[in-house]
Amino acid sequence: MFRLSLKMTLARKGRLLLTSLAIILGTSFLSGTTIFSDTINSTFDRLFTDVFRDVDAYVRSTDSVDTGFGEQRAPSPIEALDIILGVDGVSAAVGDMQSYARVVGKDGEPLGEDQGPPTFGGIASESVAGLWNVDSGRLPVGSGEVMLDRATAEAGKFVVGDKVRVNALSGSREFTLVGVANYGDISSPGGATFALFDQPTASEFLLKPGFVDAFLVQGDGTLSDEELAEAIDAALPKSAKLETLTGAEITEETTSQIKTVLGFFTAFLTAFSFIALGIGCFVIYNVFSITAAQRQRESALLRAIGASRRQVTISLLVEALIVGLLGSIIGFVSGIGLSRLLSALLNAVGLEIPTTGLTIATNAVTRIVLIGTIITVLSAILPALRSGRVPPLAAMRDTALDTVPKLGRRIVVGLILIALGAIGLLAALNGARVAILGLGVLGVFAGVLVIGPAISKPVAMLLGKPVAGLRGVTGSMSRQNAARNPKRTARTAAPVLIGVALVTAFTALAASVKNEIRETIGASFRGDFALSVNSRGFGGIPTSVTDKIKDLPEVDQATGVGFIAAKVGDESPFILVFDPKTAGGLYEFEMIEGAQTDLGDDEILVETDKAIEKNLVVGSSVQITLIDGSSKQLKVAGTYKNAYGNYAVSRELFADSTSPLFDSFVYIRVASGVDDDAAQKAISTVSSDLGIGTLESRDAYIDSQAAQVDQFLALIYGLLFLSVIIAIVGIIITLLLSVFERKREIGLLRAVGMTRSQVRMMVRWESVITSLFGAVTGVVLGILTGIVIVVSLNDAGFSAFTLPIANTVTILIGAFIIGVVAAVFPAWRATRTEIISAIASA
């Protein structure tokens, strides 16, 4: 029987190809993302091993704040360097720094992306322990010289001798470029930019005079790395609060930190590749269902000549196994190309991730081929069982009109599944495990797919009504064809449905978030202009620049708002830092209790929900620890709502701290009698001319802040694009099989006078109606999901929900186009139907 199945499978190459296509697409994305992340990981392994090649020990502060988005560590005093150099077994040691520094290009625009890899400032040293190798020129010496990494120098077209402007913690300055360097062997790690100075300049300009981030130490070979680290630790006084790691430890830690950050990204990609695979699943299931129905006669014949039910079922499963195996292998191989494409795509948007070579783990091959094959066989189980149930004397039936029995039961079961799924979603939003979220999503989708066949006929008939009206009998037949096989229509539309539901839900969510951003900013920001950088907690606008703007005669008042990591109680959030002296009338909290004015350096404001959660009232005491390890008891002076961050403190708090405090936003009110243009010009002399931040009018600023959500949305759209491709392929396959199945019907239509273009039109509109059915139900499901998420995330409840009308219309137009595109090939096939052989194939 196995050999027979094998033979029958291989005999039908067309069917084999169609079924494999869905599996290939599904597995190739999974394989692409797997290979991509494996490659990145091994590249970083190699990179840091290489970079820390000559580092035997690493000395750093014991104080740090881990915000969950990477660790922030206190700086170390440079005096410790002499102690380290004095330790027996140390041959060289040097201060290291990775602080914020933004190199400004010759055109006045800062190099690097706001959203991209970090822009660093550091120390260039000739010590063998240093990370940098001079490529051309020499090391910088003194307060007027800078060295750049090769990639940045090339990007900015800087040559040795040029003037280079750099912005950092203590302001904006111009340096002379004296050298260009490589990081290990590469021009720049991960697309980051580097401005390098001698140690005193770096400390004073980037951080705080007399401090560095850490020390790199090289041994003289007499001690093992472990012994060296112990010796250094023993030599350092306890009061210095420093710790020593071996070279291997710091390599391992840096690599794993990078991997954690990349982990978010690859997990995101993997999630979307599983969505794509899940959508592929429906296509596979659909294809097997249709082909099982089409070879009913073949199955009946097998049964008649003595094959058991089990044998018939198994023969279809064997076919699934073969197809699954073949498809997964091809999918895996095409994933290699896809991973390259992914790298190219990320490079194109500025996220240069060094991917040298290609890492294909053997377990990745086995895993993906296994997943693909198992999914295929699972998708084929139901159709195979149905195939086995074909009675031996199955009549030679005409292609009958399908019916869906037990409509009521389907709807009830479907609604129950959706409700269970929704409960899972809500639980997940309230903090349950991610697995619950997955199950919730699964429940909702399963429910919709159970209901699908029950509603596909009436909905398709409704959607097809205008088509029938416009296109006469041809349109009427399209409409009937879309509705004649409710299960098939529902299954074919399922991928469109899922894709559209996800897009709609994300779009609705984004629209609501945008609205919230607008309201939050609109309520708190009262000025005329805003200067902003999107620094995500790393660097920003030097506070000295804020002060300069404030002092301009054209400016009435300016106030800066920044964010910094700190420990508050048992949490390590980013807290909001503002200047109570200048914020009045420019940056206003929506205070519930207390006031923001006169906030002292021993006081803190708490977001109202947070206050309730943490049992804090006005007058309560809160322990706060800054990055440099300094700790303070703060008194709650008030509570507020609707602002970024759950805690707000005064800028004064950081006066003596080594915590690098930047402003993310500077809000500006123009002096009376000065027109906006003049004011903008004046502010530009301190901001734009220095290449710091973006200066915008109040309205433009609010718009651009809200528009940041769009970037996130664009990424999601991009990833869902593959699902759309699979959905299109699914429609193409179904249409091809339907055209094949209705060969006689098409032959008859041609005989009685249907032209080829009418045949094409008939198939096209059937496709459009099917696609629109998926889109319309998807939009409804997506909006409902969006409402559930928004309402459960937001205190404002339903009013926070914004219906993205323009986007919904776009989605429906998109579905229309998908229908038209998917129909091209099947419609062409239909027009090629040979009339005589079609009629004769009775």
Partner 1 sequence: MNQVPESKNVAARAESASKIYGSGENEVRALDNVTVSFERGKFSAIMGPSGSGKSTLMHSLAGLDALTSGKVFIGDVDLSTLNDKEITKLRREKVGFVFQSFNLIPTLDAYENITLPLSLGKRGGDEAWITKVIDTISLADRLEHRPSELSGGQQQRVAVARALATRPEIIFADEPTGNLDSKSGTDILTFMRRAVTELGQTIVMVTHDAVSASYADRIVFLSDGHVAGEMSNPSPEKVLEYLKHLGD
Contacts to partner 1 by CB under 8 A:
398-401, 472-474, 476-477, 480-481, 484, 744-745, 748-756, 758, 835-836, 839, 842
Token pair for 20:
């494999």
Can you tell me the distance from the alpha carbon of 218 to that of 362, in angstroms, rounded to the nearest whole number? 37
Listed residue (787, 720, 799) closest to 426, CA to CA: 787
Return the H-helix or E-strand segment holding 147: strand 145-149
**3-state DSSP call for residue 325?**
helix
Closest CA to 728 of 289, 329, 280: 280
Find, among 554, 553, 551, the residue nearest to 528 by Cα: 554
Nearest to 691 by CA among 156, 206, 110: 110
Enumerate the β-bridge partners of residue 94.
216
Nearest CA to 171 out of 504, 527, 519, 546 is that of: 546
Per the CB < 8 A criterion, the answer to whether 307 and 387 are in contact is no
Residues 654-692 as b/e (b if ≥16 CB within 10 A, e otherwise) read beebbbbbbbbbbbbbbeeebeeeebbebbeebbbebbb
Q: Three-state SS for 350?
A: coil
Q: How far apart are CA 424 and CA 435, in angstroms?
A: 9
Is the C-alpha dihedral spanning 131, 136, 140, 146 positive or negative? negative
Name the residue with tokens 């030599």.
235
Instruction: Give the bridge partners for 296, in sequence order.
Output: none
Whether 499 and 720 have beta carbons less than 8 Å apart is answered as yes
Q: How far apart are CA 34 and CA 1, in angstroms?
A: 37
Name the residue type at position 475.
G
Q: Are 144 and 136 in contact (CB under 8 A)?
A: no
The Cα–Cα gap between 763 and 402 comes to: 18
Distances (CA, A) of 104 to 65, 354, 537, 589: 30, 24, 20, 34
Helix (H) or strand (E) holding 464: helix 434-484
Of 753, 143, 121, the closest CA to residue 473 belongs to 753
Q: Are 526 and 810 in contact (CB under 8 A)?
A: no
The helix, strand and coil proportions of the chain, stated in percent and rounded to the nearest 5, come to 60, 20, 25
Crossing angle of helices 756-793 and 486-524, in 10° steps, is: 40
DSSP states along 409-442: HHHHHHHHHHHHHHHHHHHHHTT--HHHHHHHHH
Q: How far is CA 615 from CA 1, 574, 611, in A?
A: 71, 20, 6
| Measured distance CA(240)–CA(81) in Å, rounded | 12
Q: Is 239 exposed, middle or buried (0-12, 13-18, 19+ CB in 10 A)?
A: exposed
Q: Give the Cα separation of 129 and 125 in Å (integer).
A: 8
Collapsing DSSP to helix, strand or coil, 274 comes out as helix
Strands 119-123 and 193-197: parallel
Give the whole-angstrom CA distance, residue 282 versus residue 264.
28
Residue 611 near residue 575, CB atoms below 8 Å: no
**Whole-Å CA distances, 322 to 14, 17, 205, 299, 599:** 14, 12, 65, 19, 72
- For 629, other C-beta atoms within 10 Å of its C-beta total 18
